[in-house]
Amino acid sequence: MAAGRRGRVRAWFDAQLRPDGDGRGLGPVLMASLRASGYGAVGAGFGILALYTIPVVAFAGLLALLGAGRFLVHPVMQWVRILAGLERRRLQRLGHEVETPYAGPDAEPPRTLKELRADPTARRDLAWVFLHGTFGLILGAVLINMPFVAVRDVTYPIWWAFAPDSERQILSGLLDADSPTSAALGFATGIAVFALWLLFGPKLLELQSRPGLHFLGPDPEIDLSERVARLTATRAAALDAHAVELRRIERALHDGAQNRIVAVAVLVGAAKREVPRDPDRAVEILGRAQDTVEDALAELRAVVRSILPPVLEDRGLAGALNALASDCAVPCTVDVDVPGRCPASVEATAYFVVAESLTNVAKHSRAKGASVEVRRRGNTLTVTVADDGRGGADAAAGSGLAGITRRVEALDGTTTVASPPGGPTEIRVELPCGS
Ligand SMILES: Nc1ncnc2c1ncn2[C@@H]1O[C@H](COP(=O)(O)OP(=O)(O)OP(=O)(O)O)[C@@H](O)[C@H]1O
Ligand SMILES: [Mg+2]
C-alpha cells in the first residue's frame, strides 16, 4: 500500500520534472530544485560514507605496502564496490544509464595490491570515492542547505526580535544580524539564496553526479579492447569450427560415398567381363552394384542432412527438436518457447547442441529421463538439455562436448556444463540471436 503510494508520488514528481513537460512556470522549476536537493542529500549521505572510506583505504593501502595488511585489501575493496553500487543506483534513478563495469556478476574485487594495480575498474571506483567523499559531499551539503537558508533568511525579520543572541546571523552564519536593518537584509539574502537555488540546484546536482558518471561505468577504452580480444578469439573459434566441419564432411564423403562408388565401378567392371562368360553371374554382380549405389545415396543424403538439417527448414526449431527427442532412446520432454524464428545459424547450432547432448544422454548417462528446454528472452536464445543420469560429463574425454563449445563460441555464445559425479547433468547454452 505504502509502496504503491510512494510509486505514485514518484511518478508525479517525475511528470513534473520531465524536460519536455508543458509546465515552465515556477512549479516545475521549484520541483526540479527540490528534486536536486533530495538527490543531492542522498548523494551527500554517500559522500559521508566515502569521506570515512578515504582514510580506511589509505590505511589499508599503507599496511599492504608494508606487507602487513594484505588481508585488508579485499574487504575494503568489497566495501568500495558496495558504495559504488549505491551511487550507480542513485545515478540510475536520476535517469542515467550506468552499466556495471566488472567482468561478471561473480567477479571478485582485488585481493592484493598487485591485483588492484592490474584492475582498472577497482582503481576507477577508488577515484570516485576520493572525488565524491570531498567535492560530492560539499556539493551535497550546499544542495541541502540552500532551501533551509532561503526559508530561514526570508522569515528572519519576523522572528529576529525573539531570536537568541547566538542565532542572530543570516546567510547560514556568514553575516551577523544584530540590528533591525540587518534583520531586514535577511529577507533580501533569503530571496537571493532562493533564486540561486532555483537557478543552480539542478546544475549542482549534475556536477555532483559527474564523477560517478565518469568513473563508475565501463571504461570505454577497456571495453573496446576487451571486445576486440573477444572477437579475435571467437573469429579464431569460428574458423576452427569451420575447418573441423569441412574435415568432417570430407571424411564422411571419402570414407562413405566415395568408397562405395569405387566399389560400384569395380563391380560393374566385373559384371562386364562376366556377361559373355556367365550372364547369370553378371546379373548377380549388377544386383550387388545396385545395392551399393543405394547405400552410397543414403550416405550422401546423411552428409547433406548433417550440413543443415532440412527438418529445421521444414518444421522449425520446435518441430526439429521434437523429432530429435522422439528418436532418443531415453524418454525426453521438449519445451520450446520461441516466438518467431531465429537466424538460421542460431537454429542450426541449437539443433546440433541438442542432437549431440541427446546422443550423449543415450550413450553415457544411464538416465531414466531427459528434458530439452529452449527459451528466447530478448536477444538471447537459451538451450538447456538435462538428464537425471550418473553425471561426470567431461569435455576432455571426447570430441562432442568440445564441438558444442566451439560451435557456440563461433556465434559469440556461452556454454555451461554442470555434471557432478552421480549426476544430474545439465548442458546450458546461451546464443545471442541478433535483434
Ligand atoms: N549426459 C551425460 N551423462 C554422463 N556422462 C556424460 C554425458 N555426456 C557426456 N558424458 C561423458 O563425457 C565424455 C565426453 O563426451 P563427448 O560428447 O565430448 O564425447 P563422446 O560422446 O565420448 O564422443 P563423441 O566425440 O562421439 O561425442 C563422454 O565420454 C562421457 O563419459
Ligand atoms: Mg558425444
Q: What's the average model confidence in pLDDT over 232-241? A: 73
- The pLDDT assigned to 76 comes to 94
Greater confidence, 243 or 264? 264
140 Cβ below 6 A of ligand 1: no
Tell me whether residue 338 is in a domain.
yes
Tell me whether residue 75 is in a domain.
yes
Going by alpha carbons, the residue nearest to atom 1 of ligand 1 is: 361
pLDDT band at 4 (very low <50, low <70, confident <90, very high): low
334 shares its domain with 316: yes
Ligand sitting nearest the alpha carbon of 404? 1
383 Cβ below 6 A of ligand 1: no
- The pLDDT assigned to 21 comes to 44
347 shares its domain with 418: yes
- The pLDDT assigned to 55 comes to 95
- The pLDDT assigned to 153 comes to 85
Helix (H, G, I), strand (E, B) or coil at 79: helix
Greater confidence, 19 or 354? 354
**Ligand 2 centroid – CA 295 distance (Å):** 25
For 383, the domain range is: 310-432
30 grid coordinates: 521549484
Q: What's the average model confidence in pLDDT over 60-71? A: 86
Distance CA 393, CA 326 (A): 23
- Secondary structure E strands in 126-271: 169-170, 175-176
Compute how many other C-beta atoms are within 10 angstroms of the C-beta atom of residue 317.
Answer: 23
Tell me whether residue 353 is in a domain.
yes
246 shares its domain with 324: no
pLDDT at 430 over 90: yes
pLDDT band at 240 (very low <50, low <70, confident <90, very high): confident
pLDDT at 374 over 90: yes
Average pLDDT taken over every residue of the chain: 86
**How many Cα atoms are found within 13 Å in the side-chain-facing hemisphere of 279?**
1
Tell me whether residue 223 is in a domain.
no
Is the preceding omega at residue 28 within 30 degrees of 0, hence cis? no
For a mutational test of ligand 1's pocket, the pick from 385, 401, 428, 429, i.e. the residue with the most ligand atoms closer than 8 A to its C-beta, is: 401
32 Cβ below 6 A of ligand 1: no
397 Cβ below 6 A of ligand 1: yes
269 shares its domain with 295: yes
Q: What's the average model confidence in pLDDT over 173-192? A: 79
pLDDT band at 406 (very low <50, low <70, confident <90, very high): confident
- The pLDDT assigned to 410 comes to 79
- For residue 415, the cross-strand partners are 429
Tell me whether residue 225 is in a domain.
no
Q: What's the average model confidence in pLDDT over 201-218? A: 93
427 Cβ below 6 A of ligand 1: no
Residue 370 one-letter amino acid? A
- Classify residue 44 as left (phi > 0), alpha (psi -120 to 50) or beta: alpha
178 shares its domain with 147: yes
147 shares its domain with 183: yes
**Ligand 2 centroid – CA 403 distance (Å):** 9
Ligand sitting nearest the alpha carbon of 402? 1
pLDDT band at 97 (very low <50, low <70, confident <90, very high): confident
290 shares its domain with 406: no
- For residue 426, the cross-strand partners are 386, 418
103 shares its domain with 31: yes
- CATH number of the domain where residue 386 is located: 3.30.565.10
43 shares its domain with 89: yes
- The pLDDT assigned to 43 comes to 95
**Ligand 1 centroid – CA 15 distance (Å):** 58
* For the chain, percent of residues with pLDDT exceeding 90: 47
- For residue 115, the cross-strand partners are none
**Ligand 2 centroid – CA 359 distance (Å):** 6
**Last-in-domain residue among 155, 182, 215:** 215
pLDDT at 54 over 80: yes
**Ligand 1 centroid – CA 105 distance (Å):** 29
For a mutational test of ligand 1's pocket, the pick from 247, 357, 364, i.e. the residue with the most ligand atoms closer than 8 A to its C-beta, is: 364
Q: Indicate the helix (H) or strand (E) that contains 337.
A: strand 332-337
180 shares its domain with 259: no
Compute how many other C-beta atoms are within 10 angstroms of the C-beta atom of residue 55.
Answer: 10
**Ligand 1 centroid – CA 402 distance (Å):** 10
Least confident stretch, 110-124, 165-179, 354-368: 165-179
The atom number, within ligand 1, closest to the CA of 359 reads 21
Going by alpha carbons, the residue nearest to atom 2 of ligand 1 is: 365
400 Cβ below 6 A of ligand 1: yes
Q: Are strands 380-387 and 425-432 parallel, antiparallel or unpaired?
A: antiparallel
- The pLDDT assigned to 306 comes to 72
**Ligand 1 centroid – CA 400 distance (Å):** 7
150 shares its domain with 261: no
- The pLDDT assigned to 256 comes to 81
Tell me whether residue 230 is in a domain.
no
**Ligand 1 centroid – CA 417 distance (Å):** 11
pLDDT band at 46 (very low <50, low <70, confident <90, very high): very high
Give the total number of structural domains in the chain: 3
382 Cβ below 6 A of ligand 1: no
Tell me whether residue 384 is in a domain.
yes
